């Protein structure tokens, strides 16, 4: 069965790696990413064909009740990475480094070591070209890196809230330049959050690494949603999210529908993107 093909109740047949994802980008096959935090959901995601699991510092807001991701600690991230790893051995597992745990390349190396020893196979960090030396250092030492541009939640106080990024020409050019710099430094994936769809398309076409969109239109190589949004558990869901449980009727069905809708281009639709 080719990469990206989904059948009813067909789980992943072999482990997903960074090479798998690059091959999918080259072949134009979209992949699905879900942010989740525990072993049962991780096991279900594997059975439903989710290629990438993100243990995001979003857990601060979705699980722990904080009003932002900033209070999340390394200890909390490690706890949830370990749980997800126990439930899944085929999806690629990616863990966020939380706020101020990668301010220098050396600090990033120490904390990347901790989260990978807990079970992550890739680390995710937020920021632009200033992170290129950190990405280079991690990559040279065998640590896969997912970069994150656009709306970067750890910078919410600097950005003035949860706002779409890249609408002005200057902002768009800066985000594009950041993406190219991080790609050149050796990043393996790039999350684009809350940027205009046209900008996400330009970036996706300009970098060798696969891009994962969330509120970034239909032209990224993949999509990511938080499990709470997929299951309709968010009291005030963001524009880019969708409740798949309403249509599917049960939790496994909701996850399978999300995967299929991503791969077939049904999701995201016009109401979920920014222009």
- Rg, the chain, Cα only: 17
- Is 235 catalytic? The answer is no
Residue for token pair 């290629």: 51
Q: How far apart are CA 255 and CA 45, in angstroms?
A: 7
Among 193, 205, 235, 271, which one carries the catalytic annotation? Answer: 193
For the record, the structure tokens of 171 come out as 């902002």
- C-alpha distances in angstroms, 199 versus 167, 169, 193? 9, 10, 11
Active-site annotation, residues? 193
């Amino acid at each position: 069965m080719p990469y990206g093909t989904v059948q009813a109740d067909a789980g992943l047949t072999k482990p997903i790696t960074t090479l798998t994802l690059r091959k999918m980008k080259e072949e134009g096959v979209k992949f699905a990413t879900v942010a989740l935090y525990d072993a049962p959901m991780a096991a279900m995601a594997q059975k439903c064909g989710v290629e990438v699991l993100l243990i995001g510092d979003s857990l601060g807001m979705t699980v722990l009740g904080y009003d932002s991701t900033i209070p999340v600690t390394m200890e909390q991230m490690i706890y949830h990475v370990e749980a997800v790893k126990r439930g899944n051995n085929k999806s690629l597992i990616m863990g966020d480094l939380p706020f101020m745990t990668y301010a220098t390349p050396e600090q990033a190396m120490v904390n990347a070591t901790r989260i990978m020893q807990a079970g992550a196979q890739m680390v995710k960090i937020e920021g632009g070209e200033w992170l290129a030396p950190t990405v280079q250092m991690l990559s040279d030492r065998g640590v896969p890196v997912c970069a994150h541009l656009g709306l970067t939640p750890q910078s919410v106080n600097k950005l003035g809230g949860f706002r779409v990024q890249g609408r002005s020409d200057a902002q768009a050019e800066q985000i594009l330049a950041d993406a190219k710099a991080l790609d050149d430094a050796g990043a393996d994936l790039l999350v684009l959050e809350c940027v205009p769809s046209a900008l996400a398309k330009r970036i996706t076409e300009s970098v060798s690494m696969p891009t994962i969109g969330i509120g970034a239109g239909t032209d990224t190589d993949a999509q990511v949603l938080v499990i709470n949004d997929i299951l309709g558990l968010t009291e005030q869901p963001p524009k880019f999210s969708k409740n798949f449980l309403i249509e599917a009727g049960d939790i496994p069905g909701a996850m399978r529908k999300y995967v299929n809708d991503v791969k077939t281009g049904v999701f995201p639709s016009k109401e979920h993107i920014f222009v």
